[in-house]
A and B are shown apart, each in its own frame.
Chain A
Amino acid sequence: MRLPSFEYLEPKTIREACKLLAKYGPEARVLAGGTDLLPKMKSKEITPRYLIALKSIEGLDYIDYQPGKGLRIGALATLESVRNSPVVKERCPVLGETASLMASTQVRNLATVAGNICNAVPSADMAPPLMVLGAKLRVSSPGKGRLAPIQDFFQGPGQTALGAGEIVTEIVVPNPLPKSGSVYLKHTVRQAMDLALLGAATMVALDGKGACKDVRIALATAAPTPIRALRAEEVLRGKVIDDALLAEASAAAVEEARPRSSVRASESYRRKLVGVLVSRGIAQAMSRARAAGR
């Protein structure tokens, strides 16, 4: 199947890109890696009249760390570059590990982290780890830009909080909390090239006495959007985590998940997975937190 017709626009600046996007509104789509967009266009699921390619805009392909600013991932940084980045491995290893669990080399060399977020599918693997790390999205627009917490970004399947003419240009990941660890667990049928039947990211920060100082849990494919399991977090926060508490927390996560049945898995199976992955993930994040020097 071939692509339907469209007009290809290649602005040189972000400002110009935002203006084009504002002008053409829902008739336009932003093109970064294209690995989600082009297949959807080939199948005629969407047929935008304009594609606004970001590739000729200077300074969007980077992964950078500065102590004061945290880790910053530019809109054109690919999954493969995140996977191979020494600074990601040092500062936020969970992001590189998550990228390793996604797609294939030849897709990861094209696909971007920002694209995975902006496509906003329920199974977006990059969403849960970025949510537990408290990431923010730098959003440019024809007017004033803004910094949007990833928390409030997902509004429905394929729906984001981006307004007219707004483009995500950067993902900002703050420094992880002291004595904390994060993991992303992805349950799939195949070992590669597969979507998550369920994905769970967990972050645990411990205090001096080994109790849970802070905790975040985020799930993919557990609801129409990636979600935080806030009630499960409440169960754990401030407490010494033992097996009984872990069971209580995972039961709370199972309760607040809203998965659907699809050809890939039933709702009840996904609910079971929520419990298993949350409890396994918290245990693994805790052992990472114990091992963390900082």
Chain B
Amino acid sequence: MKQTITLTVNGDEFQLAVDPRRTLLEVLREELHLTGAKKNCNEGECGACTVIMDGKAVSSCLVLAVQARGKKIETIEGLARNGKLHPLQEAFVKHGGLQCGFCTPGMIMSAKALLDKNPRPTEDEIKTAIAGNLCRCTGYVKILESIKAVVDGKG
């Protein structure tokens, strides 16, 4: 039986009737058509579905939509404002922190969750924050450079 939930996604409030077996990821992608968060491993191993829920990075494939009731969700689609990219997005473009781009939304959301709490993280703290985001293209070096550029104010 469907349940009515309210989600605040990227600042906008949505009332949705969801089947309890739908994950937050499925609702974001299929109901709200926010396809930035990717459905990949679907078991919390790859980080491609990472979104920020009440300020914390979570694997949205591991959250039931009904469990996200009343929560504030941030996705990659909410980062750019008035046509201007978020500093992390700009840094990933400028420093080539992506190749195929599939892991990028999750990678950036993990980085954002870190920087929101800790604007001056060490390299180890950055590595820990993105340890759950798999990238098969870049070898991570340019991703780290991109995040460090924002930390150092050279985004």
Contacts and interface: CB of A to CB of B under 8 A. Distances in A.
B57 A55 contact: no
Contacts of A109: 53, 56-58
Interface of A is mostly: loop
Interface string A185-197: 0000001110000
A235 interface: no
A105 B113 contact: yes
B20 interface: yes
Contact of A38 (B62, B114, B129): B62
Contacts of A8: 3, 20, 64, 66
Interface string B51-88: 00100111101111011000000000000000000000
Interface residues of A, number: 32
Contacts, number: 90
Interface in A1-59: 1-8, 10, 31, 33-35, 38-39, 42-43, 51, 53, 55
A39 B57 CA distance: 18
Given A6-B21, A106-B57, A34 B45 contact: no
A60 interface: no
Contacts of B58: 106, 109-110
B131 A192 contact: yes
Interface string A173-207: 00000000000000000011100000000000000
A55 B47 CA distance: 23
A118 to B, nearest CB: 17
A119 interface: no
B42 interface: yes
